[in-house]
Amino acid sequence: MNSNSLKEIYASKMKAFRSELSLKCGQFGIDIVDADINQGFEQVLLSYLIKRNKMI
């Protein structure tokens, strides 16, 4: 198996996983937030809290 085919398989599996996760979370009203772990939790938490506050 070469690196290009492995990359394609990984991308395909991740896309399917994200799709299933998104569907399941949507069924239970759970938000999915993409986050850059290099930013630290403060930016992610702030964005989430602002979004939730607008929903009230």
Give pLDDT tens digits for 5-21.
999 999 999 999 999 99
Total structural domains within the chain? 1
Look at residue 1 and tell me whether its pLDDT is greater than 80: no
Q: How far is CA 10 from CA 22, 31, 37, in A?
A: 18, 24, 20
pLDDT at 22 (0 to 100): 95
Contacts of 35 (CB under 8 A, 6+ apart): 44
Domain of 12 in residue numbering reads as: 3-55
pLDDT at 8: 94
Nearest Cα residue to 29 out of 52, 54, 13? 52
Q: How many CB atoms lie within 10 A of CB 48?
A: 14
Spatial contact of 33 and 53, defined as CB atoms under 8 Å apart: no
* pLDDT 10s digits, 31-53: 887 888 888 888 888 888 888 88
Phi and psi torsions of 51, nearest 5° = -60, -45
